């Protein structure tokens, strides 16, 4: 009796593919209308996120070589060059050894710096002098360009055929 004949998944899939030639069609829809749909092609980022080097803390942008060995008992004395404002391109850079620039969390890192020292490990002792009580490693407290999403990176994969 064929009524109760059971076929394997592989056989069923082969039968469907042989008798039906259904291919998905590409259709562009608004995001809010995309419920219960699948991605037809890979979604690729056209930009780096972030598109600038940014600080993960409030602190002073420095060149890590300038504060190697800094500690509470032997702080590094730095020349305060100015401040970076949120959403603005830095107007000051780290031009010489011993320079530092104040940067808020999320602020753009000025040229010439490679790390940020948390404000808790610093002391502003004069209008243009900052003591840094802790050494940092290259790249510390800095999010690099494209670290979250790189340009040309696939951010949503298409459904497999």
CA distances for 122 relative to 58, 64, 137, 143, angstroms: 11, 14, 16, 21
| Strand residue runs (E) in the chain | 43-44, 54-55, 59-62, 76-83, 99-103, 115-118, 122-126, 129-132, 142-143, 154-156
Tokens 């602020």, located at residue = 107
- Any idea what DSSP says for residue 114? -
> What are the pLDDT tens digits along the chain (161 aa)?
567 788 899 998 888 888 887 777 888 999 899 898 888 899 999 999 999 999 999 999 999 999 999 999 999 999 999 999 999 999 999 999 999 999 999 999 999 999 999 999 999 999 999 999 999 999 999 999 999 999 999 999 988 76
The predicted pLDDT at position 1 comes to: 54
How far is Cα 54 from Cα 25, in angstroms, rounded to an integer?
Answer: 42
Cα distances from 150 to residues 21, 42, 109, 115, in angstroms, run: 38, 15, 18, 21
Query: What is the model's pLDDT at position 23?
Result: 74
Domain 54-143 homologous superfamily, CATH = Molybdopterin biosynthesis moea protein, domain 3. (2.170.190.11)
């Amino acid at each position: 009796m064929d009524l109760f004949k059971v076929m394997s998944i592989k056989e069923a899939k082969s039968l469907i593919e042989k008798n039906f030639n259904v291919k998905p069609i590409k259709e562009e829809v608004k995001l809010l209308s995309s419920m219960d749909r699948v991605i037809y092609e890979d979604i690729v980022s056209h930009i780096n996120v972030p598109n600038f080097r940014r600080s993960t803390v409030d602190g002073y942008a420095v060149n890590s070589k300038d504060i190697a060995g800094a500690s509470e008992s032997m702080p590094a004395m730095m020349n305060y060059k100015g401040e970076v404002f949120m959403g603005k391109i830095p107007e000051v850079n780290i031009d010489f050894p011993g320079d530092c620039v104040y940067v808020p969390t999320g602020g753009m890192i000025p040229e010439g710096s490679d790390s940020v020292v948390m404000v808790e490990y610093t002391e502003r002792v004069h209008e243009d002098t900052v003591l840094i009580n802790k050494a940092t490693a290259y790249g510390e407290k800095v999010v690099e360009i494209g670290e979250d999403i790189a340009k040309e990176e696939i951010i949503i994969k298409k459904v497999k055929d």
